[in-house]
């Protein structure tokens, strides 16, 4: 622990985080309660080479009938998506789960924070199951509660926390959503980030935007008329976020140093290269991409926006899409009359989302058939209450 700047009577402390637990998780062992990812998956999985996996999944799902409701995120593998009752983005799926109160089991083929949101929005009688507890989100893991509380202490000591509204992206842990709810903030999605920020700036003069710096910056600058100088980047691994008291006092948008490991891979070179290779190509990217990529693209939008744009595009048109590869491949197969390609030359799956595979799904379903609930995701009552406050505030936004 170290004492950081002492400026005008304001002091702060900072603790260097340990990487041990994260390293164990990457090795498939151990757990880290300070992250949203979870622990290793117990049980004996079927072999990936088992030729009966599809039949086994279908049989288990049929035996469970209406007792089970399977959700599949757009970034999931095709082998898993085929068994989903509903596909969509994270918030759509959580709401779909809440709309099925008669389903005893919600099997969420996505990542940990998504299953947490489903648990928050569903009834206590329903059980939310994540087929692989190690399916997490690197972006969500970049903002853990202890770090955010330290940052809030810094803002409090500077005398600006009272005029700062925390806004968290849906891609965050239940702990972070709970923190935001306790401190008068709101959750947002990539579709309604501007509406959420408009509301936040009616409550205060500053926003602490968690955990994706790119969505926050792109929304503030490209949709709200902010300048890049209005934004500062808070790095939780540096004393006071690597910022001076003056920078924190003057900033309108305090961006958390987090990003999506998939969307962050796309570069301006990727855009320039595809334009050279494919004359007339339309570049369509997700707002989690870097600012220079978003400004160079033809269109920017959420996962659902990307899907609808491709569906509505004329036959013969060419599209370079900057989002997760499973979705881009699925769009290309669904629209053979259009030229649809991945924006970058490098393969770019979401590695943690990809952990949900057919063996894990079969195992989870067959365990339910046997009367054993595995990998249940639960959010404690206090955290769930305050997270629900922040989610309800999002649902109350104009146009929501």
Considering the domain boundaries, does residue 34 fall inside one?
no
Pick out the residues of the known binding site: 73, 90, 137, 169-171, 190, 260, 286-288, 303, 350
Per-residue pLDDT tens over the stretch 141-171: 899 999 999 999 999 999 999 999 999 999 9
Confidence class for position 29, pLDDT limits 50, 70, 90: very low
* Residues 88, 130 within the same domain: yes
End-to-end distance of the chain based on CA atoms, in angstroms? Answer: 43
d(CA 382, CA 58): 38
Per-residue pLDDT tens over the stretch 318-340: 999 999 888 899 899 999 999 99
Considering the domain boundaries, does residue 8 fall inside one?
no
Considering the domain boundaries, does residue 2 fall inside one?
no
State the angle between helix axes of 145-158 and 174-182 in degrees (0 to 180), rounded to the nearest 10.
30
* Residues 161, 194 within the same domain: yes
* Residue 24 pLDDT: 36
Considering the domain boundaries, does residue 32 fall inside one?
no
* Residue 398 pLDDT: 80
Least confident of 88-97, 118-127, 249-258, 382-391: 88-97
Per-residue pLDDT tens over the stretch 175-190: 999 999 999 999 999 8
Query: Is 218's pLDDT higher than 60?
Result: yes
Q: Average pLDDT of the chain?
A: 87
Q: Pick the residue with more confidence: 219 or 37?
A: 219
Confidence class for position 389, pLDDT limits 50, 70, 90: very high
Confidence class for position 32, pLDDT limits 50, 70, 90: very low
Answer whether 147's CB lies under 8 Å from 17's CB.
Answer: yes
Q: How many CA atoms lie within 13 A of 111 on its CB side?
A: 27
Pick out the residues of the known binding site for [4Fe-4S] cluster: 137, 260, 350
As for how many domains the chain has, the answer is 3
Query: Is 14's pLDDT higher than 80?
Result: no
Strand order in the sheet with 299-300: 299-300, 282-285, 318-322, 339-342
Mean pLDDT for 44-48 is: 83
* Residues 120, 174 within the same domain: no
| 220 token code pair | 């503030």
Considering the domain boundaries, does residue 148 fall inside one?
yes
d(CA 167, CA 193): 9
Query: Is 261's pLDDT higher than 60?
Result: yes
Considering the domain boundaries, does residue 41 fall inside one?
no
- DSSP string over 99-153: T-TT-SEEEEES-HHHHHHHHHHS-TT-EEE-S-TT---HHHHTS-HHHHHHHHH
Residues 11-31 as b/e (b if ≥16 CB within 10 A, e otherwise) read ebebeeeeeebbeebeeeeee
Query: Is 214's pLDDT higher than 50?
Result: yes
CATH code at position 186: 3.40.50.10800
Range of the domain at 227: 140-259
| 290 token code pair | 């870097």
* Residues 117, 183 within the same domain: no
Pick out the residues of the known binding site for iminosuccinate: 73, 90, 169-171, 190, 286-288, 303
Confidence class for position 74, pLDDT limits 50, 70, 90: confident
* Residues 167, 240 within the same domain: yes
* Residues 63, 119 within the same domain: yes
């Amino acid at each position: 622990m170290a004492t950081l700047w002492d400026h005008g009577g304001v002091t702060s402390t900072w603790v260097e985080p340990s990487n041990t637990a994260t390293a164990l998780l990457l090795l498939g062992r151990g757990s880290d309660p300070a992250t949203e990812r979870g622990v290793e998956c117990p049980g004996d999985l079927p072999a990936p080479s088992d030729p009966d996996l599809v039949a086994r999944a279908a049989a288990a799902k049929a035996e469970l009938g209406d007792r089970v409701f399977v959700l599949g995120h757009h970034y999931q593998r095709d082998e898993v998506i085929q068994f989903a009752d509903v596909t969509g983005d994270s918030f759509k799926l959580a709401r779909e789960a809440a709309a099925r109160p008669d389903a005893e089991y919600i099997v969420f083929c996505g990542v940990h924070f998504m299953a947490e949101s489903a648990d928050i929005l569903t009834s206590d009688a329903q059980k939310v199951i994540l087929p692989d507890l190690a399916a997490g989100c690197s972006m969500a893991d970049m903002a853990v509660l202890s770090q955010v509380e330290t940052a809030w202490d810094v803002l409090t000591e500077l005398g600006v926390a009272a005029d700062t509204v925390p806004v968290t992206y849906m891609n965050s842990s239940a702990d972070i959503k709970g923190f935001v709810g306790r401190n008068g903030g709101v959750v947002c999605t990539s579709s309604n980030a501007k509406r959420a920020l408009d509301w936040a700036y009616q409550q205060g003069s500053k926003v602490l935007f968690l955990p994706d710096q790119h969505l926050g910056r792109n929304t503030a600058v490209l949709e709200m008329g902010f300048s890049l100088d209005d934004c500062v980047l808070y790095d939780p691994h540096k004393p006071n976020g690597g910022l001076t008291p003056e920078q924190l006092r003057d900033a309108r948008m305090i961006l958390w140093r987090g990003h999506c490991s998939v969307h962050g891979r796309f570069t301006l070179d990727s855009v320039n290269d595809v334009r050279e290779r494919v004359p007339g190509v339309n570049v369509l990217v997700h707002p989690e991409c870097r600012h220079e990529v978003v400004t160079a693209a033809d269109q920017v939008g959420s996962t659902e926006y990307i899907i609808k744009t491709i569906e509505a595009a004329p036959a013969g048109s060419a599209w370079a899409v900057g989002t997760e590869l499973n979705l881009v491949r699925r769009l290309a197969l669904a629209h053979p009359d259009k030229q649809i390609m991945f924006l970058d030359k490098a393969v770019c799956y979401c590695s943690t989302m990809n952990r949900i595979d057919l063996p894990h799904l079969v195992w989870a379903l067959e365990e339910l058939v046997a009367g054993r609930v595995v990998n249940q995701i639960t959010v404690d009552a206090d955290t769930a209450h305050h997270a629900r406050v922040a989610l309800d505030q999002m649902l109350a936004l104009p146009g929501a």
